[in-house]
């Protein structure tokens, strides 16, 4: 649904982007969601191009009720990743290899409660941890010039907090409207940074410089999300979200001058012909469409990187159950401002699958 979710709440899905939604989980239910994704990436600067693909872990999330109108959730997912390997030649004909690996992982636990009719509040505690390695290798054709390898290591660890709210109003027999907001508070994370530079030739290698700092904190930005959703219960959801982050105030080694405040507009629609039908499989299918337009947090000397994309998804129900298999596709394109003289395009096509298990903890069966 285009990445929306700030104002969406259902009894059988976990919308971790706003912990206030956990209060909608059924009293006697347990929800488990596990997902993988596959990405195809294409880069182009007008003359050269690069393509790659990879499959990875997307998330594991569990949600469960604590009491009536009070729920909780926990999960783990990638916060960022740094897997790439770019090879080529520079303007002097020397070979260049830029590579990266590792990433930052987010582990969260949260709770949401309906404090009075229609109004729910919630909070997540997010634990961020991980390591990113970046290497730059310059191999010179001239035997009289030493090759150069520089390697950076960045370790991050710390805690951030989300605070979310949702207000729901039902009108008529089946119609609803929800409004929601969520903020992630900026916080200092523990940071360790190392930079080693080596030279080598056909006969020897040596380290020429080393730098290490484990006292400077990495400052993560404050993020604000606001949204609205409306529609027909168990049939139609239309959601609109707006998000903004103060990345220009973030301080992370290796990012000086490359960060800008980001903002995003997202739109999503979900349609279910007949959710309670136990005899027609196609009527229980969940059909989803979405789109997004973003000013990303990446700021280059010739402008801030823009992104737009669209999404499509299906929720395939399991027999006589609220459990389902979710399939999704996301196509996104990054580009520079139209006034830029530099041509840089990035296309990413992602496919994902998740298994959403919805189980009743206490269910009485009657036998005749």
Identify the domain containing residue 65 by its residue range: 19-360
Spatial separation of the C-alpha atoms in residues 234 and 311, rounded to whole Å = 21
Q: Give domain status of residue 277, yes or no.
A: yes
Q: Report the range out of 45-59, 195-209, 258-272 with the highest average pLDDT.
A: 258-272
| Res. 87: pLDDT tops 50 | yes
φ, ψ of residue 333 in degrees (nearest 5): -130, 130
- Domains of the chain: total: 1
Q: Give domain status of residue 6, yes or no.
A: no
- Rounded to 10 degrees, the C-alpha dihedral 108/109/114/120 comes to -20
216 Cβ contact list (under 8 Å, min separation 6): 191, 193, 251, 253
Q: Report the range out of 55-59, 138-142, 169-173, 222-226 with the highest average pLDDT.
A: 222-226
Q: Give domain status of residue 308, yes or no.
A: yes
pLDDT for 365:
44
Q: What is the pLDDT of residues 217-272, one digit of tens each?
A: 888 899 999 999 999 998 999 999 999 999 988 888 878 788 999 999 999 999 99
pLDDT for 360:
65
Higher pLDDT, 104 or 93: 104
| Res. 142: pLDDT tops 80 | no
Pick from 18-22, 46-50, 196-200, 298-302: least confident: 46-50
> What percent of the chain lies above the pLDDT cut of 90?
48
pLDDT for 361:
58
* Residue 136 near residue 107 (C-beta atoms within 8 A): no
Task: For residue 29, give the CATH number of its domain.
Answer: 2.40.160.60
Pick from 3-17, 178-192, 269-283, 329-343: least confident: 329-343
Q: Give domain status of residue 293, yes or no.
A: yes
* Residue 266 near residue 234 (C-beta atoms within 8 A): no
pLDDT for 364:
47
CB count within 10 Å of CB 248 equals 12
Q: Give domain status of residue 160, yes or no.
A: yes
Q: Give domain status of residue 260, yes or no.
A: yes
Q: Give domain status of residue 348, yes or no.
A: yes
Pick from 57-71, 135-149, 335-349: least confident: 335-349
Q: Give domain status of residue 335, yes or no.
A: yes
The mean pLDDT of 60-77, rounded to a whole number, is 93
Spatial separation of the C-alpha atoms in residues 325 and 319, rounded to whole Å = 11
């Amino acid at each position: 649904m285009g990445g929306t979710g700030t104002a969406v709440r259902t009894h059988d899905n976990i919308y971790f982007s706003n912990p206030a939604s956990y209060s909608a989980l059924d009293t006697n239910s347990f929800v488990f969601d596990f997902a993988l994704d596959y990405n195809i990436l294409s880069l182009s600067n007008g003359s050269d191009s690069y393509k790659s693909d990879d499959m990875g872990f997307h998330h594991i999330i569990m949600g469960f009720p604590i009491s009536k109108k009070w729920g909780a959730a926990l999960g783990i997912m990638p916060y960022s990743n740094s897997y790439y390997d770019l090879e080529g030649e520079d303007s002097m004909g020397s070979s260049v290899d830029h590579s990266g690996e590792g990433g930052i992982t987010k582990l969260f636990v949260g709770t949401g409660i309906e404090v009075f009719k229609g109004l729910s509040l919630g909070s997540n505690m997010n634990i961020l941890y991980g390591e990113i390695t970046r290497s730059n290798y310059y191999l010179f054709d001239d035997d009289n010039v030493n090759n150069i390898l520089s390697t950076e290591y960045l370790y991050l660890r710390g805690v951030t907090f989300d605070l979310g709210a949702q207000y729901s109003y039902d009108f008529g027999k089946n119609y609803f409207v929800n409004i929601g907001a969520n903020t992630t508070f900026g916080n200092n994370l523990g940071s360790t940074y190392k930079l080693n530079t080596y030279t080598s030739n056909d006969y020897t290698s040596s380290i020429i410089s080393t730098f290490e700092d484990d006292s400077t904190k990495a400052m993560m930005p404050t993020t604000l999300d606001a949204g609205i959703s409306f529609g027909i219960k168990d049939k139609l959801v239309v959601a609109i979200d707006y998000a903004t982050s103060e990345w220009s105030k973030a301080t992370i080694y290796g990012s000086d001058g490359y960060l800008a405040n980001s903002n995003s507009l997202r739109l999503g629609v979900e349609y279910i012909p007949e959710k309670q039908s136990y005899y027609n499989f196609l009527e229980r299918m969940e059909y989803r469409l979405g789109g997004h337009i973003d000013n990303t947090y990446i700021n280059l000397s010739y402008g801030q990187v823009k992104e737009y994309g669209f999404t499509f998804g299906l929720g395939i129900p399991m027999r006589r159950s609220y459990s389902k298999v979710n399939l999704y596709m996301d196509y996104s394109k990054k580009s520079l401002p139209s006034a830029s003289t530099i041509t840089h395009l990035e296309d990413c096509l992602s496919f994902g699958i998740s298994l959403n298990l919805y189980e009743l903890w206490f269910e009485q069966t009657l036998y005749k």
